[in-house]
Amino acid sequence: MSDIEWWKKGVFYQIYPRSYMDKNGDGIGDLTGITDRLNYIAELGVDGIWISPFFQSPMKDFGYDVSDYRSIDPMFGSNGDFDILLQQAHDLDLKIIIDMVLSHTSIDHPWFAESRLAPDNRKGDWYVWADAKPDGSPPNNWQSIFGGPAWTFDTKRGQYYFHSFLKEQPDLNFHCEAVQKQMLSECEYWLERGVDGFRLDTANHYFHDQELRDNPPRDHSKISTGLQIDNVIPYTMQQHVYDKSRPENLSFLKKLRTLMDKYGDTMTLGEIGDDDPYKLSVEYTKGGDALHTTYNTHFIAGTNESELTPDKIKTPFEELAKHSTTCWPSWAFSNHDVVRSVSRWGKGIKNKKSLAILLNKLLLSLRGTPFIYQGEELGLPEAVIPYEQIQDPWGKYLWPEWQGRDGCRTPMPWNKESAAAGFSADMTDRKSPWLPIPTAHKKLAVNIQEADKNSVLNQTRNFLKKRKTMPALQTGDINFIDTNDDEILAFTRTLDKSEILCVFNISEKKKNFEGIELTSLNCHVEEV
């Protein structure tokens, strides 16, 4: 894919490296393991891979707390291992984008160690520091997404520091020009190594209000933050006017785009979590001088089992269209932070295999760049993790309302008969992988599905091949059709003179739509 909009036409496969393939036998996935499975990914029929963070980290948030942006954490391998992975992926015509966590670092980063020494040192303003109120309380009412106030008092410096997430993840101060310059340099390091782009974690969190004004309360009846929990936590009780999505954010994204454009056909995918993610997505992508596309959270929100309805699919497109009809979105039904789609949208449906196939075909038919999370091509359900085995700090905070993100992060099942389902066959330092592998997942292992032409894996592979023959399905416009049936979703994809009709029966009953017979949980995607 040599044209500059390859990222629009392509399909990405997301890898959570801790859980993909363990080659060194320590129970944790690694870069060599990903390299070992590149042929599998290429044969799936995707065009690129997004790899979640693998940088050096104390792993308080499993890699989203970076202590060195230019070094691979030893648990994943070495910089040389990444170079081999990148070269072999490119040899297979697979693009590689990596997860850049720019809004915050680990508390163990040398930058923070220097910053906390004194306000007037060389990096004294690299993080967001503020004095306590006269009564010793935090500077304002900002809340952490992971629970509690977004401020922690540091006794060495005698001030509070701001953290949108864990207290071990202090936010950088992007109002400091030296910070902006440094983070662009960290990105350039990986561009020089040959990566094809970045997935930008929390891309609207780079700037904060310098006056540190309190966030106003929000109307609880209208809470819709895109978070993965349905119950109200303090973070969701505020309108996030001052702690993120500040107007200065766009100026930094434009600087990053200028850098990206120096390296040819690269792309940026911004993760947007905001009170109005659609408006912000348009703001960050219009004009072609900031982000290329944004990762919208509508399809991945919620933890409770619910029903799949046409409105669930149409609503984000309708909301986006209120702000722009040209903005190019990116979509996923699952990722490393949320309940797997077949469990989240499977309420009342007994045939989870057919549902998984339908969901993959639906994702690949929508207008926008699709991201398939590892294991979705197998139809893996959400794993239930016993409390004593929970690793996720967010899950520990929210228990028992939600077990956190571990349920979607369990290791890939490669071979039903092998130890640890083929994920880590020769473990040396431990008796089991870092998270347990459910029996239900072993039954859906790759080796089982490859032998079954009707498996989720093979049906997904076949549809990906079909998609490559249909340009309208890749970059065409989308127009939803009123079916007068809340169990049938229909739309067209049009490009030039080509039109493709997409009809999805999202029930377990036989359906008829304008003469098209649809069996249970089946679809019709054909050119008309």
* Catalytic sites, residue numbers: 201, 271
Name the 3-class secondary structure at 115. Answer: helix
Tell me the C-alpha distance between 489 and 521, whole Å.
11
The H or E element that residue 523 is part of is strand 523-527
- Tokens 């929990």, residue located: 229
Tell me the C-alpha distance between 304 and 316, whole Å.
19
Q: Which of 438, 436, 413 is nearest to 423 (CA)?
A: 413
Distance spanning both ends of the chain, measured CA to CA: 27
Structure tokens at 427: 């473990």
Positive or negative: CA dihedral 54, 421, 345, 236: negative
Q: Phi and psi at residue 505, in whole multiples of 5°?
A: -90, 105
CB atoms within 10 A of CB 264: 10
Spatial strand order in the sheet of 523-527: 477-481, 488-495, 498-505, 523-527
Tell me the C-alpha distance between 368 and 10, whole Å.
9
Q: Which of 66, 179, 175 is nearest to 122 (CA)?
A: 179
Residues 6+ apart with CB under 8 A from 219: none
- Percentage helix, strand, coil, to 5, in the chain? 30, 20, 50
* Bond from prior residue into 310 cis (ω within 30 degrees of 0): no
207 close to 251: Cβ distance less than 8 angstroms: no
- Tokens 């990222």, residue located: 7
Q: Which of 246, 233, 236, 243 is nearest to 130 (CA)?
A: 243
